[in-house]
């Protein structure tokens, strides 16, 4: 796995493990207790994969961290401010030192902008800086103030895609040798299953779904473009002949106009679009594997984990070339213009009605997905730790 663009000094996982034998890694896992979306899944998977590999890795977490209520109350906002200031800027490094940590990794770009421990930071995307109005006021203000000094301090920066690496280098002017690409990982629960698999049937029946459906996944927030996806599902049904098409969305509630507009649009869709809410990972994986296709017409991603999960499940994908989705999907998906309801609807109809086309994309996506399994991602992450330790 290529963990950095261009030339790299990488002795492989075994060599990295030998060099890191005297290093105690601290991983800040707070995000997996607080976040409801892809960042939590990433941190959870990384912690598990690193724990199973050789080496000394310690989990660090802000005391009392838990997901906020939706819609957020003043207590949730206060807890976020306290966590972002008290834990991320200072507390995590104090906790790391008490635990004997010698190399600290913050797997989301919220961390100490100053301090003495060698630091590795993961950046998933820069949308909070490039499109701040899509985010809550506190998050965009805090990020604008803390991300630049955090990345300047970091000994190594991990980005989850070449697109994000290019964006980081262009915006911050970092030494290119310090910025490494390690993709997100896909857990083994996302794997191909036949439609008649008892696990798939049970999940589908528990959610009240028909035998055929298009899956959609993600937090209900503006970047996911769900308003257009609802409109496209209705158009596909009413004007394009796919009268039995149904799109079902799994994901937690989010923020912005989408938090209110998407449920209203779904309720008015005549059954073309349904919201399932957040699901357990095992249920979600079964529904993704059993879906006719996955629709993910995002307006921009730092990676696009649902696309990778669907490909690993042998499910054909509709997505866009926005952001890093071009890196993840390549030419192995139905690519549409995310700003055009008509283009999204046309893509849905092609996947819904053309069995041969759908099977071709599913096979190509499954072959592509081998690069995203967690053992390989953990090995590449440890290689970055080794690089950071050697280049202090």
Residue 382 forms part of a structural domain: yes
Per-residue model confidence (pLDDT) at position 99: 97
- Pair (68, 27) in one structural domain: yes
- How far is Cα of residue 290 from the mean position of the Cα atoms in its chain? 21
Residue in the structure block whose two tokens are 């989010």: 254
- Are 213 and 361 members of one domain? yes
Distance (Å, whole) CA 306 – CA 296: 8
CB 60, CB 27: distance < 8 Å: yes
User: CB neighbours (10 Å) of residue 116?
Assistant: 8
> Among 220, 298, 304, which residue's Cα sits nearest to residue 257?
220
- Is residue 237 a part of any domain in this protein? yes
**Rounded CA gap, 182 and 197, in Å?**
33
Residue 134 pLDDT grade (very low, low, confident, very high; cuts 50, 70, 90): confident
What strands, in cross-sheet order, belong to the sheet with 179-181?
A: 56-60, 24-28, 103-106, 119-123, 156-159, 179-181
For residues 3 and 383, the answer to whether their CB atoms sit within 8 Å is yes
- Range with lowest mean pLDDT among 65-79, 98-112, 333-347: 65-79
Q: In angstroms, how far is CA 2 from the centroid of its own chain?
A: 19
For residues 264-278, average pLDDT: 96
**Total tally of structural domains belonging to the chain:** 2
Token pair of 107 as six digits? 């797997």
Percent of the chain at pLDDT exceeding 70: 94
Residues 225 and 159 in one domain: no
Confidence grade of residue 16 (pLDDT, cut at 50, 70, 90)? low
Indicate whether 150 pLDDT > 70: yes
Is residue 335 pLDDT above 50, yes or no? yes
Q: What is the pLDDT of residue 322?
A: 93
Three-state DSSP class for 135? Answer: coil
144/262 same-domain check: no
Residue 389 Cα to chain centre, angstroms:
27
pLDDT at residue 19, rounded to an integer? 57
Instruction: Note the pLDDT of residue 2.
Output: 40
Neighbours of 1 (CB within 10 A): 14
Higher pLDDT, 210 or 257: 210
In a domain, 7, yes or no: no
Domain check: are 109 and 253 in the same one?
no
**Length of the chain, please?**
392
Joined tokens for residue 16: 């990295």
pLDDT at 277 over 60: yes
- Please give the average per-residue pLDDT across 367-384, as a whole number: 94
Residue numbers of the domain that contains 165: 12-185+373-390
> Same structural domain for residues 210 and 301?
yes
The dihedrals phi and psi of 276, each to the nearest 5 degrees, come to -100, -15
d(CA 328, CA 229) in angstroms, rounded, equals 20
Check whether 6 has a pLDDT greater than 50. no
The sign of the CA dihedral 131, 135, 141, 145 is: negative
Residues 299 and 172 in one domain: no
Pair 44, 180 in one domain: yes
Same domain, 223 and 157: no
pTM above threshold 0.75 = yes
Residue 4 lies in a domain: no
Would residue 5 count as lying in a domain? no
42 lies in the same domain as 71: yes
Average pLDDT, the chain: 92
Nearest Cα residue to 335 out of 388, 366, 295: 295
pLDDT number for residue 54: 65
Could you tell me if residue 3 is inside a domain?
Answer: no
Buried b (16+ CB within 10 A) or exposed e, 129-158: beeeebbeeebbebbeebbeebbebbbbbb
pLDDT interval class at 20 (50, 70, 90)? low
Residues 232, 357 within the same domain: yes
By CB atoms closer than 10 A (0-12, 13-18, 19+), residue 382 is: buried
Lowest-pLDDT choice from 23-37, 144-158, 362-376: 23-37
Q: Is 192 within the bounds of a domain?
A: no
Contacts of 241 (CB under 8 A, 6+ apart): 349, 353
CATH number at residue 103: 3.40.50.2000
Residue 190 lies in a domain: no
Mean pLDDT lowest for which of 56-70, 147-161, 227-241, 258-272? Answer: 56-70
Q: Based on the fold, state whether residues 144 and 214 are members of the same structural domain.
A: no
């Amino acid at each position: 796995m290529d963990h950095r663009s261009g030339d790299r000094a990488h002795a492989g996982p075994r060599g990295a493990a030998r060099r890191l034998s005297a290093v105690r890694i601290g991983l800040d896992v707070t995000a997996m207790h607080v976040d409801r979306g892809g960042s939590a899944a990433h941190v959870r998977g990384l912690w598990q994969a690193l724990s199973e590999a050789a080496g000394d890795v310690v989990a660090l977490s802000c005391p009392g961290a838990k997901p906020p209520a939706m819609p957020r109350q003043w207590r949730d906002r206060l807890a976020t401010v306290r966590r972002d200031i008290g834990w991320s800027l200072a507390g995590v490094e104090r906790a790391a030192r008490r635990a004997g940590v010698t190399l600290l990794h913050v797997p989301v770009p919220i961390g100490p902008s100053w301090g003495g421990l060698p630091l590795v930071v993961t950046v998933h995307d820069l949308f909070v800086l490039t499109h701040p109005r899509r985010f809550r006021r506190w998050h965009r203000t805090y990020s604008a103030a803390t991300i630049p000094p955090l990345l300047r301090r970091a000994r190594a920066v991990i980005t989850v895609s070449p697109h994000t690496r290019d964006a980081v280098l262009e915006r911050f002017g970092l030494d290119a040798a310090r910025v490494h690409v390690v993709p997100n990982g896909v857990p083994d629960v996302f794997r191909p299953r036949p439609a008649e698999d008892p696990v798939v049937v049970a999940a589908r029946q528990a959610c009240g779904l028909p035998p055929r459906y298009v899956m959609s996944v993600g937090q209900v927030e503006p970047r996911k473009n769900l308003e257009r996806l609802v409109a496209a599902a209705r158009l596909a049904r009413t004007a394009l002949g796919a009268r039995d098409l149904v799109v079902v969305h799994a994901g937690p509630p989010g923020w912005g106009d989408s938090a209110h507009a998407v449920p209203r649009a779904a309720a008015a869709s005549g059954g073309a679009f349904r919201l399932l809410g957040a699901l357990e990972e095992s249920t979600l994986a079964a529904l993704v594997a059993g879906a006719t296709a996955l629709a993910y017409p995002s307006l921009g991603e730092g990676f696009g984990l649902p696309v990778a999960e669907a490909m690993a499940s042998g499910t054909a994908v509709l997505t866009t070339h926005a952001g890093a989705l071009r890196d993840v999907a390549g030419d192995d998906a139905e690519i549409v213009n995310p700003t055009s309801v008509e283009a999204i609807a046309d893509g849905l109809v092609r996947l819904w009605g053309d069995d041969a086309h759908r099977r071709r994309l599913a096979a190509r996506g499954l072959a592509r997905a081998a690069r995203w399994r967690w053992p390989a991602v953990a090995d590449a992450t440890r290689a970055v730790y080794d690089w950071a330790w050697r280049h202090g």
